[in-house]
Structure 1
Amino acid sequence: MSVVSPARGLGLVLLCALVVTGCGRIKQDRMAESLYAATKGYAESVRWGYFESAVGFVHPDVRADVDFSVLDNVRVTGYEVVQPALIGAQQQAVQVVRIEYVLEDRQRLKQLTQREDWRWDDAQSTWWLHTPLPAFAATP
């Protein structure tokens, strides 16, 4: 029968704690990288008017019937992150953006601020946007 010395036992406990902490940190890093990729991909889709692609970032439960013919009249001229997304305790992130756009038929510059609610999906290992596409005002 072998007996583990107290120092060796403490060393094993510390090693296990480091491994568990390290694995948690790796997951957090992957989630952060994935969030950056999702928010960047969504921003580029909206910025360049690829609204069909932007809808792919929106969670299926939040997607509404989007009238893409109305969006044909919208030309986005700017997409600025006002408050970057930070991962919270509940595997959620909030990002605030300012979007400038022109309604093609009126040629008037408009602006809106939108709060984007991103949530992590463990089953699919991806971030979903739980906010609909921006509500571009059609009035002057």
Structure 2
Amino acid sequence: MRLITTVLLAVLALAGCASSSPAANALDAAQYAWSGAIRWNDFGGALNLVDPRLREEHPLTELERKRYEQIEISAYRDVGSSRNIKAGTAVRSIQIGVVNKHTMEQREVRYQETWRWDEAGKTWWITSGLPDLWAGE
């Protein structure tokens, strides 16, 4: 799965060469890699795109890892987004289809991604962490 994420990131980076700025291109690539990782249930790969400070402050527990293993993602839709490249911020509202592997029940979860630009690293980090696919449960 990590290979898929890396390949998708590289393809998007090449396709985005005509975009307006390097930071905008990098955001498109990061969001594409993130959504691909989530869609393919590669939560370990997605975790690599989470802000390193957040990963350090709130490491993923073994119980949380096991919970992600019990679901499949059936849909991942961007239902609204905004970006301020100059300020180094971006937000996307996402609707995720989640299927419980044991019961085969599907449900929809709303999730808001927040992103920040790391000028030193020339990369975007997601600051909202992995989606809480059990909100309200």
Normalising by structure 2, what TM-score?
0.76
What residue ranges of structure 1 are gaps of 5+ in the alignment? 1-27
Q: Find the counterpart in structure 1 of residue 11 from structure 2.
A: none
Q: Find the counterpart in structure 2 of residue 5 from structure 1.
A: none
Within the candidate set 26, 32, 39, 1:40 is matched to 32
Distance 1:138 1:69, change over 3 A: farther
Q: Find the counterpart in structure 2 of residue 127 from structure 1.
A: 124
Q: Find the counterpart in structure 1 of residue 3 from structure 2.
A: none
Matched, 1:102 2:96: no
Task: Determine if contact 1:80/1:98 at 8 Å carries over to the other structure.
Answer: yes
- For residues 77-102 of structure 1, the C-alpha deviation after alignment (integer angstroms, 9 at most, x for no partner) is 00001113422542111111110110
Q: Find the counterpart in structure 1 of residue 111 from structure 2.
A: 114
Task: Determine if contact 1:32/1:87 at 8 Å carries over to the other structure.
Answer: no
User: What is the alpha-carbon distance in structure 1 between the residues aligned to residue 81 and residue 40 of structure 2?
Assistant: 20
Task: Determine if contact 2:76/2:95 at 8 Å carries over to the other structure.
Answer: yes
User: What is the alpha-carbon distance in structure 2 between the residues aligned to residue 121 and residue 81 of structure 1?
Assistant: 23
Q: How many residues align?
A: 114
Matched, 1:59 2:45: no
Report the 3-state secondary structure (helix = DSSP H, G, I; strand = E; otherwise coil) of the residue aligned with 1:44: helix
Q: Find the counterpart in structure 1 of residue 77 from structure 2.
A: 80
State which drifts further: 84-93 or 38-47: 84-93
Percent of aligned positions that are identical: 26
Amino acid at match of 2:22: R
Normalising by structure 1, what TM-score?
0.74
What residue ranges of structure 2 are gaps of 5+ in the alignment? 1-19
Amino acid at match of 1:120: W
Matched, 1:31 2:28: no
Q: Find the counterpart in structure 2 of residue 92 from structure 1.
A: 89
Task: Determine if contact 1:48/1:76 at 8 Å carries over to the other structure.
Answer: yes
- For residues 44-93 of structure 1, the C-alpha deviation after alignment (integer angstroms, 9 at most, x for no partner) is 00000000000011001222332312111010000001113422542111
Distance 1:139 1:86, change over 3 A: closer
Report the 3-state secondary structure (helix = DSSP H, G, I; strand = E; otherwise coil) of the residue aligned with 2:59: coil
Structure scoring higher RCO (CA < 8 A, sep ≥ 6) equals: 2
